[in-house]
Amino acid sequence: MSKTIEYTEAIVPYRHEELMAKVAAQLTDKRYQHCLRVEETARQLAADNGVDVELAGIAGLLHDYAKQRDDQTFIQLIKTHGMDPNLVSYGNGVWHGYVGAELIKDELHIYNEPILNAVRLHTVGAPYMTKLDQIIFMADFIEPARDFPGVEAAREATAKSLADGVRFQIQHTLDYLIQKGAPVYPQTLATYNAWVGGVAPQFAN
């Protein structure tokens, strides 16, 4: 299990147990255990897909670092960091990715862009995603304790290919949000259009 991991690369300025403690300090035990499962799932997906396992594990462990901050903290950070002002109209479900990356820089002094971007995108995806981005996106969705109608199909798609997993998840999530009548951040639609709808990513916005 992940508790016995010792880092061998100089990706972050912490030992594994130090980073675990920093994540644990920000979250309920239930959510912290989710982070450990995402770490483990991300390491497995990395091994299966030729991605650096230690890098993927760190991104997985960190992905929900900011999840339990209050809304005012997120809104303040959106303003002080000059982020898309439209973000304010959405909620924690979008913020803890985009804004979480800023908190990881500010508080943990981790500046590894592949990790930060995987954290940023894990809630909404993107038209272009690196394999690491795809791994964190999928590990969060299919970690062993996840249980929702379709999770087995999601696991099978991801085992076939990361891209199949991403396509499954973004269509499933968008459908879920719309049936609920929940707001959808435009980047979520851009991800869907690029991966499922066959629309070429648009750079001219």
Closest distance between a second copy and the C-beta of residue 122, in Å?
20
Ranges within 152-181 binding a second copy (CB under 8 A): 171, 174-175, 178-179, 181
Among residues 160, 161, 164, 124, the alpha carbon closest in space to that of 140 is found at: 124
Q: Which is nearer to a second copy, 50 or 198 (CB)?
A: 198
How is residue 116 written in tokens? 């930060």
The reply to whether 196 sits near a second copy by the rule CB under 8 A is yes
Closest distance between a second copy and the C-beta of residue 98, in Å?
16
Q: Which is nearer to a second copy, 1 or 200 (CB)?
A: 200
Q: What span, in angstroms and rounded, lies between the C-alpha atoms of 174 and 146?
A: 18
Q: Which is nearer to a second copy, 27 or 83 (CB)?
A: 83
For residues 85 to 114, the per-residue mask of contacts with a second copy, x marking binding by CB under 8 A and - elsewhere, is xx--xx------------------------
What residue ranges bind a second copy (CB under 8 A)? 85-86, 89-90, 171, 174-175, 178-179, 181-184, 186, 189-190, 192-193, 196-200, 202, 204-205
